[in-house]
Amino acid sequence: MFWRVEVKSNKIDPKLLEILVCPLTKGTLTLDETAEELISKKAQLAYPIRDGIPIMLINEARQIKNS
């Protein structure tokens, strides 16, 4: 089964967010609909979503500032 994230329509399957974890910390992720990213607050990383597909690679994530 393949999962797609529909960011532009503000829809995401809640079960997908339950399944996905940060590959670095194994912690939970939150969706940033504006930036089209999945955020790991624990790792301070933002994983991009491209064409509706979360890119869960540490080397593709961007470092975010602690707010």
Rounded-to-integer distance, Cα 29 and Cα 18, Å: 8
Rounded-to-integer distance, Cα 65 and Cα 50, Å: 22
In the prediction, which pLDDT does 15 show?
87
pLDDT tens per residue, range 9-51? 545 678 888 899 999 999 999 999 899 999 999 999 999 998 8
Domains detected in the chain: 14-63 (2.20.25.10)
Q: Which residue has the higher pLDDT, 67 or 47?
A: 47
Question: Is a pLDDT exceeding 70 seen at residue 65?
Answer: yes
Question: Is a pLDDT exceeding 70 seen at residue 1?
Answer: no
In the prediction, which pLDDT does 2 show?
59
